[in-house]
Structure 1
Amino acid sequence: MSVSAQTHVPEQNGEPLGNASMAHLKAALLSVPGTPNRTGTPGSDHKIANHIGYSDTVFAGKAEQAKEVVATLKHKGFIPPDLVEAEVNWFY
């Protein structure tokens, strides 16, 4: 005696839901910023501002704070003492 079971697959817009989700995922992963999307309009994600790049943060007491950080790091011993000043200077 054989019993056949039918499996119901949820659908969306006439397509099996799993396929629709996979198609949406592929479209999102394979999209190129600045190219038209499914609606024909350029995407607005991942905009990069048009500026020169890094700008240094300047504040009163910065040099004194850097000296305190050097002293603290040398005391804690987390970074080898001969590297502390170079690392702090790079960070500041």
Structure 2
Amino acid sequence: MDDIWKHAAVDTPFGKIPTLNFEVNGDLLQGCSRLYWFTGDPKYLDWAIRLGDYYLLGDHHPTRDLDDLRLSDHGCEVVNGLSELYVAVSHVRPAKKAAYR
């Protein structure tokens, strides 16, 4: 995970992210949220928040800004990842929880 983020090349208003691929970003959201809980290392939560901000605070909101939201196959990875991120920030970053609400 660290190497993926070390080479993140996509500029966003929230910082660099590794890709614009919806499914991969969902996988990264899930992985970073889980790694935060497993390790307690805030860098994983920070990376998940960077992706969360890209989708929830920018102009890439899955239900407001996309033409369609696929929940079949692997299209739901971002929804799952954002849900896991929301649980994490609900516990440790209440200001971010409020921003995402």
Bin of the TM-score, shorter chain as denominator length: under 0.3
Q: What is the TM-score normalised by the length of structure 2?
A: 0.22
Higher relative contact order (CA 8 A, sep 6+): 2
Task: Looking at secondary structure, tell me which structure has more strand per residue.
Answer: 1
TM-score for the superposition, normalised by structure 1: 0.24
